[in-house]
Amino acid sequence: MEKLGKLAYDMGRLWSHYWPSYLTGIRNTLILAVCCTLLGCIIGLACGVLNTIPVSKNAPLPKRFFLGLLRAVIRIYVEVFRGTPMVLQAVFIYYGLPYFSGGQIAFSGYEGIWQASLLVVSINTGAYMAESVRGGIISIDPGQTEGAKAIGMTHVQTMVNVILPQALRNIIPQIGNNLIINIKDTSVMFVIGFVEFFATHRNIVGVNNLYFPSAAIEMIGYLTLTLIASFLLRLLERVMDGSDHYELIQADQLTPTAGTYTHPGKQKGRRAR
């Protein structure tokens, strides 16, 4: 108990002295994680859609060659950024681009550190989201694509109006996972000088050497952020699911009159409770 009391005292002392720095680190972490998750979703959506464009054997040779090349490039991108640590990706992009470009591409100042961090985390997230989007698209019943084509929809119309709305709901949990991962993994950006929550902890520890009390504050902070993110994402899922009680209205006089319908799975869960 004495040790716990001392830990609580040291944590309170650190927070009372450095709470503005901790909050700044939390703010930077959240901004970077949210922005990069959104950008990564856009990248992943583009890659996932391009990977699922159907190509028949009777298609023109230039089209087959172009799509084959595009898919090869996407595959290399996905494998490289999923198969290497983000900390090394940050080093290669922040220090490697100026090295190979002879200084023409450089990230100068703290603004440059922000730009490099956004770039690294976004393309890393995009590599994971590309496979999630592809999986979400191919998980949709092929009969829906066939039905859309049967009523004259083009491939773009089918994707926008039929497939993607359903695929988006299917990949919402993966988007949430990536957001939570980014909240934690942005901590590796300290290697290029980005001052987020973990870098703030390192700076404070360098002044007072109270490593474990500061680490405990970090642990509580990250856990709080991820729990809030999980709660908000589950709330979003429930909103997208809509109500479990539907009113069926028939305009045609020859069909049965209006009635109600309750989702059987949700009704079963309700009875169990």
Termini Cα distance of the chain: 41
Cβ partners under 8 Å of residue 266, min gap 6: 244
165-211 residue pLDDT tens: 888 888 888 888 999 999 998 989 988 889 899 999 988 888 888 88
Predicted structure pTM score: 0.81
CA gap 199, 26 in Å, rounded: 10
202-257 residue pLDDT tens: 888 888 888 898 999 999 999 999 999 999 888 888 887 766 665 555 555 555 54
Among 107, 47, 55, residue whose Cα is nearest residue 80: 47
Q: How many CB atoms lie within 10 A of CB 256?
A: 8
Q: How many CB atoms lie within 10 A of CB 202?
A: 15
Among 20, 125, 22, residue whose Cα is nearest residue 82: 125
